[in-house]
Amino acid sequence: MHPSLAQRQTHSLLNDTATCRRLEMNLRRNVEQDHTVMIDTCANTFRYEDCRDEYWNPEQYSLLWGTELWEQASAAQRIVLNQLYWVAYYAQIVSAEIATIFLNQVAAAGMYSFEDFRLVCDNLDVETKQERAHIAAFKKVGEEVEHTLFGKRLFTYPMRSLHEHTMVFADTNRARMLWRKLQLQSFMLLSSSNAFLGSQYLLIRGLRTLNGKLVQHQLGQFYRDHPDQARAPVPSAISWYHFLDESFHFHTSRVVGLDVPRSLPAPTAFERWVVNRGVAGCQRDHFNISVVVNGIFWYDPATFSAIYTLLRSSVFGMDHVQAMQMLAACFAKESDGLFSAERTHRTAADSYCASLEPVAYLDACNKEMRTMRSNSVERHLWHNRRALARFKAPSLQ
Ligand SMILES: [Fe+2]
Ligand SMILES: [Fe+2]
């Protein structure tokens, strides 16, 4: 047999029948249960007026839950904080899914160059289409809420490319953004022609979405357990349908990231280095603890302007001095909200370690999530206090 033909057949995905069966079942069930039509219907029928007087998530999934602001808020203000958690949380998911749409295609291009990888690519194609519906629904709800409450954006943003920072509120500056862009472009260039790196994009995607799976499960339960689903708030239904679609995406990430590499040539030292860089980037992006949105690892000082604007809005009606005092009370002091956010962060690091356990080619810093675990309540408060001292309130014109 021609040597190149023999080698290609050695690395055919079809040789791994268990993995093929799992991918086939994942694709078939995702197509059968696809929630795109339901999510589109929710987006098209959403009217804030219809559900503005009720919670959309379990209570602890509220903006700044467990901080001074939450403790002092009236019942009506707590409802707004609960709804703004939804808006802010899914604004972050929009950013992550914009990146997913692009990188799914890049990874598929890399893997399709190997024998019999159509099944992997077909899974990714269906997911990409679903992400576009998810993004449209999150944007529709988030933008309508912010427009009604504030007449402007707080957490949402106009459609953008993945070259912006994936974390909507990140600890970054111009130089770091440029460096990130260069790394991302290098990874895209490499993985679009490299099947192993294409598969490892899915490993990193799985890691990045693991904490989201835990949070989105809780958000979805609110609708699933609602005593009268026909009257449940539309955003809660979106959370549930989205969680159901995402459980298939998550399964794809696991199978392609962990099992598919067995059908590929062993990674070179360079390829292993690139994957380690990718996991290290995830650790850095998930380094921060956020009391604003417990469940996302935003850099809280980057949210000060948005929170100040919220405090000065008609929802809370504070003057400048009251708003600045409230920022200090929420961000520079220990609170139930901070301890809860720190627990979320720790649980995430533990689950990342468990999910990477079978991966042989990661270094100890990545396997043990050392960067992510080096954050603490004390460090978080120290950074917040320093940032508050420098914070200049935005003009509200
Ligand atoms: Fe999604
Ligand atoms: Fe997804």
Dump pLDDT digits (tens) for 232-264: 999 999 999 999 999 999 999 999 999 999 988
Cβ-defined contacts of 228-237 (< 8 Å, 24+):
233/50, 233/51, 233/54, 233/55, 233/56, 234/42, 234/45, 234/46, 234/50, 234/51, 234/141, 235/42, 235/46, 235/51, 235/56, 235/83, 235/86, 235/141, 236/56, 236/57, 237/38, 237/42
pLDDT band for position 9 (cuts 50, 70, 90) = low
The number of residues making up the chain comes to 397
What is the whole-number distance in angstroms between the Cα of residue 95 and the centre of ligand 1?
10
Closest ligand, as measured to the CA of 35: 1
What is the whole-number distance in angstroms between the Cα of residue 194 and the centre of ligand 1?
25
Which pLDDT belongs to residue 10? 64
Angstrom distance (rounded) from CA 320 to CA 308 = 9
What is the whole-number distance in angstroms between the Cα of residue 130 and the centre of ligand 1?
7
What is the whole-number distance in angstroms between the Cα of residue 138 and the centre of ligand 1?
10
Residue 294's DSSP bridge partners are: 296
What is the whole-number distance in angstroms between the Cα of residue 234 and the centre of ligand 1?
17
Closest ligand, as measured to the CA of 243: 1
The protein residues having their C-beta less than 5 angstroms from ligand 2 (an ion) are 246, 249
Distances (CA, A) of 191 to 110, 195, 283, 344: 6, 7, 20, 32
Are residues 157 and 254 in contact, defined by beta-carbon separation less than 8 angstroms?
A: no
Angstrom distance (rounded) from CA 345 to CA 178 = 27
Are residues 70 and 258 in contact, defined by beta-carbon separation less than 8 angstroms?
A: no
What is the whole-number distance in angstroms between the Cα of residue 236 and the centre of ligand 1?
15
What is the whole-number distance in angstroms between the Cα of residue 396 and the centre of ligand 1?
33
What is the whole-number distance in angstroms between the Cα of residue 57 and the centre of ligand 2?
20
Which tokens hold the place of 168?
């909507």
Dump pLDDT digits (tens) for 312-335: 999 999 999 999 999 999 999 999
What is the whole-number distance in angstroms between the Cα of residue 138 and the centre of ligand 2?
13
pLDDT band for position 366 (cuts 50, 70, 90) = very high
In the predicted model, what is the mean pLDDT of residues 105-113? 90
Which residue is associated with the tokens 């999150």?
A: 138
Q: What ranges in 255-293 are assigned the alpha helix state H?
A: 269-285
Are residues 109 and 89 in contact, defined by beta-carbon separation less than 8 angstroms?
A: no
The protein residues having their C-beta less than 5 angstroms from ligand 1 (an ion) are 97, 131, 134
Q: Is the dihedral of CA 137, 82, 290, 386 positive or negative?
A: positive
Report helix, strand and coil shares of the chain as percent, to nearest 5: 70, 0, 30
What is the whole-number distance in angstroms between the Cα of residue 247 and the centre of ligand 1?
10
Q: CA nearest 276: which of 361, 338, 354, 216?
A: 361
What is the whole-number distance in angstroms between the Cα of residue 20 and the centre of ligand 2?
20
Strand, coil or helix: what is 37? helix
Phi, psi at 332, each rounded to 5°:
-110, 10
Angstrom distance (rounded) from CA 154 to CA 150 = 8
Which pLDDT belongs to residue 3? 45
Dump pLDDT digits (tens) for 40-95: 999 999 999 999 999 999 999 999 999 999 999 999 999 999 999 999 999 999 99
Dump pLDDT digits (tens) for 151-209: 999 999 999 887 677 788 988 888 888 888 888 888 888 888 889 999 999 999 999 99
